[in-house]
Structure 1
Amino acid sequence: MRRFIRASLPVLMLTMAMSIAGGAEASAPQQHSHSLFDLIIKAGPIEFLLIFLSLITYSLALQYVFTIKRDTLIPDGLADEVHNILAEGPTEEAVESARNAVAGDNSMLGNIVAAALDKRDFGYEVMKETAEHVGLAEHNKYMSRVSWISMFASSATLLGLLGTVSGIIKAFLVMSSNPGGVDPNMLAGSIGEALVCTATGLGIAIGGLYFFFWLRNRVNQCALDAAVITGELLDYFRTK
């Protein structure tokens, strides 16, 4: 019985809430509904800037989701191919074959391995140092692209705040020009501008920062994996 009451309680509460809401809706006077386009128009020019900023932010985010991924940065089979070539020893023929294998591969791993192989004549330590420098450059290259998303997301927050302040200033100007009393309808436009700009800026920032941290972690993980794979390949050149 207690279980039945506990199970029925949420249903009863939901039914009561729906009844109260239905009664309130029936007793409330008919109001004019505003479309999304009406809200955008009333929000003013800052809202249009936010919409333009959202297009840029999410276009970059979607582009990088499909282009900055492990299969692109660390192609499948590339490391195994170089491993198989160098397995019999880092001879001149093997090194040349490894260079041909990574030639034209513009991935993160391909660029690191190619740069290290070009320093073959200078020994293992120079090859390792070169791989570290190129790996850092590759990491910074991809992070500089992803960082644009963070910059646009942060800008959206500040731009939304600017719209908020602008709307509040307009509301105070209306109040100061009518000291005898202000009709709430006269403040609706200014307050609406403030709230719509705030909501739009936060919406862009929340989604943009999510994509930024997701892509940043992906780049960091790929850079770490590329460093480990390159270290394994360079072990063939270590002097025993």
Structure 2
Amino acid sequence: MMETATSLLELGGPVVLILLAISVAALAVILAKVFQFSSARVGRHAQVRQAVSQWRSGNRTKAAQNLLKDRSLSAALVRSAMDAIQMLDQQPLASQERDIREERLREEISARAADRLFGLASWLKALDLVTQIAPLLGLLGTVLGMIETFQTLQDSGASANPAALAGGIWVALLTTACGLAVAIPVSVAVTWFETRLEKERAALEVLLTGVFTAGAGAPEASVPVSGTP
């Protein structure tokens, strides 16, 4: 297997070496993002939804306590909102003043959520760049290989060997195959990460809205379930 890989590197030339380096870097980024998403427990909202339902039904202390053991991104943000609203409730504020403070609090929590989601989205643009340049690099290697092959054909004149010409062409096409082999799995990974982020963003909006509307004295209701698995 090592001999085959070495042979492919020798045949593909510097373009394949560049694609190999890009693929290793992309794999490292993908693994780091998987760990980051797993640590933030992206997409896991069952316990948070239950806590928000308890909050809206009036059991606020238990709702906040149930989120203490949840290490997910959504639990941290929802718990912050709950704690801040409980602090507002303990202050003797006029109705208008309370509404103003609650609106500021909501903006602050929303900004914090946007910042956390932005952190989760880091390096996705770099992966997206890999999906764009890898096929182009492969195509560049193919074009350079074809140029070299036809130069050899021209130098050979009438004594050109068709077998040698065919061999030169498949070697030239090798770089395109390598470029696609790098771009396709990276593209799948980027799409998966972006989809999870969009679902997480929608879920956070629903959960935080459930907390703040209940805090404003909205009628009791269950929290809508988002499309996040």
Fold match by TM threshold 0.5: yes
- Return the alpha-carbon distance in structure 2 between the equivalents of residues 181 and 124 of structure 1: 85
State the alpha-carbon separation in 2 of the partners of residues 60 and 52 from structure 1.
13
- Percent identical pairs in the alignment equals 22
2:81 and 2:211 in contact (8 A); partners too: no
Greater mean deviation of Cα atoms: 222-231 or 186-195: 186-195
Amino acid at match of 1:41: E
Kept in 1, the 8 Å contact 2:49–2:207? The answer is yes
Q: Partner of 1:46 in structure 2? A: 15
Residue 157 of structure 2 aligns to a residue in which SS? coil
The SS at the match of 1:72 is coil
User: Aligned partners of 2:79, 2:159: CA distance in 1, in Å?
Assistant: 76
Instruction: Tell me which amino acid in the other structure corresponds to 2:74.
Output: L
Q: What residue in structure 2 maps to residue 58 of structure 1?
A: 27
Q: How far did 1:57 drift? A: 2.2
Q: Which has the larger radius of gyration?
A: 1
Q: Which 10-residue stretch deviates more, 129-138 or 213-222?
A: 129-138
Offset from partner CA, 1:96-121 (integer Å, 9 cap, x none): x959x66995x432453366468655
**AA of the residue aligned to 2:25:** I
State the AA in 2 paired with 1:126: R
Structure 2 residues not aligned, in runs of 5+: 89-99, 219-229
Tell me the CA shift for residue 63 of structure 1.
4.0
Of 127-136 and 179-188, deviating more is 179-188
Distance in 2, Cα, partners of 1:69 & 1:222: 13
Aligned equivalent of 1:156, options 131, 134, 141: 134
Question: How big is the shift at 1:162?
Answer: 1.4
The residue correspondences of 1:160-239 to structure 2 (distance < 5 A) are 160-188=138-166, 190-239=168-217
Q: 1:109 aligns with which of 49, 74, 84?
A: 74
The answer for unaligned runs of 5 or more in structure 1 is: 1-33
Query: CA offsets per residue over residues 20-51 of structure 1, 9 Å max, x none?
Result: xxxxxxxxxxxxxx945423321111112212
Which amino acid in 2 is paired with 1:215?
F
3-state secondary structure, aligned to 1:123: helix
CA distance in 1, matches of 2:46, 2:39: 9
Of 210-219 and 51-60, more deviation after overlay is shown by: 51-60
Alignment partner of 1:68 is 2:33: no
Contact 1:43 1:193 in 2 (8 A): yes
TM-score in terms of structure 2 length: 0.68
Task: List, as ranges, runs of 4+ consecutive aligned residues in structure 1 with deviation greater than 6 Å.
Answer: none
Q: 2:125 aligns with which of 128, 147, 153?
A: 147
Q: Secondary structure at the match of 2:160?
A: coil
CA gap of 1:177–1:194, structure 2 versus 1, over 3 A, is: same
Higher mean C-alpha deviation, range 174-183 or range 214-223: 174-183
Structure 2 CA distance, aligned partners of 1:63 and 1:89? 39
Task: Report the count of equivalent residues.
Answer: 202
Matched, 1:77 2:47: yes
Residue in 2 that maps onto 1:130: 108
**Could you tell me how far 1:168 is from its partner in structure 2?**
1.2
- Structure 1 vs Structure 2 CA RMSD: 3.6
